[in-house]
Structure 1
Amino acid sequence: MIDLAELQQTEFFKKYQGSYVGDKILRDYYKIPLAKQATSTHFSSYEEVYTWNLQIFQDILALIGLPKATDEMLWKLAYVIYIDPDGYATRKRANVICTADALLSFKRIYTQYGFNEQMIKVYASYRKQPLIYFPREKNGINMSRAFVFGDRIDSTLLDLKVYYENGKNPANCRLNKAFQLAKTAAFLQSFTNFAELVDWLGIRGSFVDERNEVFDLEKGHEAILTDYHIETSWEWSANYYEHVKLAIEKYINLKVNKR
């Protein structure tokens, strides 16, 4: 752990002392009880949070010269401060509020590169805008796919395809419990078929092809996923990670070209 006395002498600590960042560091990193409630933040958009995170990352990276400021310690410091911008990007369908899922989490990007300039660069590129939206609901699609599929979006999309191919029946789906939740069910029922969901999500050409077949992100090269991935752990292969990045790039480029 970074020595508190050392940290208090830095411009970083002086800059953020008494703010949300300073309070979170004392309470959650050093486990020091606060005399008052932690200072709150006031963000109104995905872009605001995204930009704020990038500034925090750079400020924390500047602490690298401190004793005990290892890659892991800087990550832990950043993680207690980090605010996920996904919750600030919303869409509505069938009166159900949906929040974004960027697919590449801060933790996953850090795990791939460590806490350094490359990590910040990748975060800046692949988290610049919100991506796929699913209903905001406890144990819903976003939460459930993490432990059912190890956060693999292609297996998730295949499961949704199965749902529609079975007449909107979740019985044979791996995410059947999530699909039966009130908000998620209303959301899914609002689409006539899988193709309509794909178009609403805006993922045709990036995660799904023109025939509504799901791309296999383990194999890449526009291979089609015909069955769920056997691997369901949180750790992805290098191939899977890179193919997710490529799919995100396609998604962003297609979205830009449609404007």
Structure 2
Amino acid sequence: MPTNTPLTNQVVTVVFNPGEDADWFSASEKVNDLLNANGTPARRFHVRHRKFIGWITRFLDYYLVDTARRFGAITKAAGGRKGRLDLNGGAAKAATEARLRWHAWNQYMNSNTATRREARTWEDFQALHKADPGKLSLAEARRRFEQQPRIVAMLAYSGAHEFDPYELAAYQAGEHAYAGLHWRIAIVGDLLITAEGTILKPATDSIADRMRFFNEAIKYLRSLKSSARLCAVTIA
């Protein structure tokens, strides 16, 4: 997604302290207090259905926040008790989808001589803009980025997948990096607010800083007990 824009259309994962109200309204209040932004619940977590009793729990929304159902059975939720959320399953699904998308992108890029060569990433042009805004406006930086043959090809693609040009750095880093980025996004979102009220976010928009942030956030989430409560909020 292009940066240098307001903090919108991003997903914030909120972790609650034990004993706190753990609904999406409380999560939105934390987001508003710490980020000065309004949010709505994001039903993005897969729900765990345990073996043997899964046929019962799939219809019960206890310890879950803002659930989505299909044929009466719960499929996703905006949050809830960590033990009820299938974080690993969601990550695996996101990684599989990302690998398929990357392979389609790689084949498409290599099908044309003009698009085989790596393009300059959006972060490169953004850095030039920030270094001298008077010399290179943000609009001109974006125009130069998008006029590259590889970017034009990504925008022109009309197959089964959607290629985001602003993920070019991850695409060009290879299949493992691209899939790794997306399974981390599936668990964390774009930012994380810890139970202690600390905001974890990337230092910059570079793929390296985003990976550092995701690794720190996932380490934090893995340290939480299964009774910990989470909620995902979309800033809109």
**Same fold at TM > 0.5:** no
TM-score, normalised with respect to structure 2: 0.26
Structure with the greater relative contact order (CA < 8 A, sep ≥ 6): 1 or 2?
Answer: 2
TM-score, normalised with respect to structure 1: 0.24
- Greater fraction of residues in strand: 2
- Greater fraction of residues in helix: 1
